[in-house]
Amino acid sequence: MDLILASQSATRRRILNSARISARFMSPQIDEENITKSLNAEQAAPRDIADTLAEHKALKISRKNLDSWVIGCDQILVFEGEIFGKPASREALKDSLSRLSGQTHRLITANVIYKDCKPQWRHIAISHMSMRPMSAAEIDAYVAAYWQEVRHAAGGYHFERTPDLFSAVRGHWFDIMGLSIGPITGFLNQIGTNNPYQSPKLAAVLGHPIAQSKSPRMHGHWLQKNGISGDYIAIDIPSAHFNNTLNMLFDVGFSGFNVTIPHKEHALAFADHMSPRAQRIGAANTLIKTDSGDIRADNTDGYGFITNLSTQSETWQPKAGPALVLGAGGAARAILVALLDAGVPKIYLSNRTRARADDLAAEISDLIEVIDWQDKEDVLSEVFTVVNSTSLGMMGKAALEFDVTDINPHALVTDLIYAPSETQLLKDARARGCEVVGGIGMLLHQAVPGFEAWFGTRPEVDQELEALMLT
């Protein structure tokens, strides 16, 4: 099937790719502004305007590609009977957001498919978007941060970048993004294909900030390699709007999420059910929507940590003796529980702020002994596992001052940091005869259970993926 999308939109291209639909992409270059003005003068209904624009795009491409199936699409924003276009200036964007603030508007998404210059199928989707009230200061801050991104977007926002602007949404993610991929795959399957298409499943990683996350690259690799119809993106959500935005994202079609700083404890409280390990750790990094509609929370950090050690080392024996863990943040919490579950008989815990380590040890187990930061090297001769869960030694961060002169040469040393791939701690430990394990494997293995739950396939962690993630 020769399929053409009459658009050069990167978002619509991504949607087709996520559905594993092979297509060509052509820009129809129609005069949307004048067509819209003409239809407005005729008092055409907004949905008819969107539909007509989509038809013009498909027809123009179809005239030169008679044997191809051509998808035309258009989307307009309507509020109080007025069509909102792209903001012409920063002041126009401020005015647009001021009018939409605290109100509900409609996104009308029109999709048509042409062949031989004739319409074969059409679909209209209407999404109801309720924007939360925004103060003048919030609007000013938004315009300052996002003007360059949204100046070409109707209404002046990208829902996928800032869903927290909304208090409620009635619609589906792909309709809001501008291409109704579910109905489109249904039609394409009706007209015949050797491999039936499926509407993509959706997952994402949530955090604040989140731009640095490598999770989309990892999950995107697995989706592509396994030929799965699905997409995985990163979404930034400020803490103040976490619960409401999370509810909204589930409502628009997401199957689940990875959750990172600072939302892991909020994610656990949000869920209807939690795994025993998430309950013990007191935080969740994975949320899954079950078939019944309930939300289940899990924490796979400890699983990823232990799996990384066991697959990278042929000699590590957790029961051989005590462990030393540096750091008392969220990652340390999961690692402490995982080490104890693996059979480590005792753990020394050291953190720059001792009170935080004391609280963590008291909460988890009396098998954890807290030692002062300046005394952390004193136990090196007796421990068999050393874990750095701090950010010290990471690119752009302060160095980890850690003298391994007296380390037990039979100890395994691991660092959660994977940039650089081998930290100074690992280099120093290797020089003393210790076995060392880098942190990239934990990132990869902790993602496996969530991917399997969302997309129905258990992915493989291999050297190809590791190399991709380290580039």
Q: What is the pLDDT of residues 150-199, one digit of tens each?
A: 999 989 999 999 999 999 999 999 999 999 999 999 999 999 877 899 99
- For residues 16-30, give the mean pLDDT: 96
Give the strand pairing for 230-236 and 166-170: unpaired
pLDDT of 193 = 72
**Is residue 287 scored above 80 in pLDDT?**
yes
Q: Per-residue confidence at 60, pLDDT binned at 50, 70, 90?
A: very high
Domain segments of the chain: what residues?
Answer: 3-191, 202-300+449-464, 302-444
- For residues 20-27, give the mean pLDDT: 96
Identify the burial level of 78 via C-beta atoms within 10 angstroms of its C-beta, where 0-12 means exposed, 13-18 middle and 19 or more buried.
buried
Query: The whole model's pTM is what?
Result: 0.94
**Is residue 397 scored above 80 in pLDDT?**
yes
Contacting residues for 14 by C-beta, under 8 A, at least 6 apart: 231
Alpha carbon of 200 to those of 21, 62, 167, 298: distances in Å? 11, 26, 25, 23
Identify the burial level of 29 via C-beta atoms within 10 angstroms of its C-beta, where 0-12 means exposed, 13-18 middle and 19 or more buried.
exposed
Contacting residues for 89 by C-beta, under 8 A, at least 6 apart: none
Residue-wise pLDDT for 62-73, tens only, equals 999 999 999 999
Residue-wise pLDDT for 381-390, tens only, equals 999 999 999 9
Place of tokens 């394990």: 437
Residue-wise pLDDT for 119-135, tens only, equals 999 999 999 999 999 99
* CATH no., domain 202-300+449-464: 3.40.50.10860
Between CA 52 and CA 46 the distance in angstroms is: 10
In CATH, the architecture of 302-444 is 3-Layer(aba) Sandwich (3.40)
Place of tokens 């647009």: 96
Q: Which of 60, 94, 264, 289 is catalytic?
A: 264
Between CA 332 and CA 311 the distance in angstroms is: 20
Q: Per-residue confidence at 212, pLDDT binned at 50, 70, 90?
A: confident
Which residues are bridge partners to 325 per DSSP?
349, 387
How much of the chain, in percent, has pLDDT values that exceed 90?
95
- Cβ atoms of 376 and 326 closer than 8 Å: yes
- For residues 220-237, give the mean pLDDT: 97
- Say whether 264 is catalytic: yes
Residue-wise pLDDT for 339-372, tens only, equals 999 999 999 999 999 999 999 999 999 999 999 9
Between CA 105 and CA 452 the distance in angstroms is: 37
Which residues are bridge partners to 24 per DSSP?
4
3-state percent breakdown (helix, strand, coil) of the chain, nearest 5: 40, 20, 35
Q: Per-residue confidence at 1, pLDDT binned at 50, 70, 90?
A: confident
Indicate if 302-444 has the same CATH topology as 202-300+449-464: yes
Alpha carbon of 149 to those of 13, 86, 146, 157, 173: distances in Å? 18, 12, 5, 8, 19
DSSP per-residue string spanning 200-234:
PEEEEEEESS-TT--HHHHHHHHHHHTT--EEEEE
Contacting residues for 265 by C-beta, under 8 A, at least 6 apart: 282, 283
- For residues 237-244, give the mean pLDDT: 96
Identify the CATH assignment for 3-191 out of 3.90.950.10, 3.90.550.10, 3.30.230.10, 3.90.245.10: 3.90.950.10
Contacting residues for 396 by C-beta, under 8 A, at least 6 apart: none
How much of the chain, in percent, has pLDDT values that exceed 70?
100
Mean pLDDT in the chain? 96
Between CA 378 and CA 118 the distance in angstroms is: 80
- For residues 393-419, give the mean pLDDT: 95
pLDDT of 195 = 81
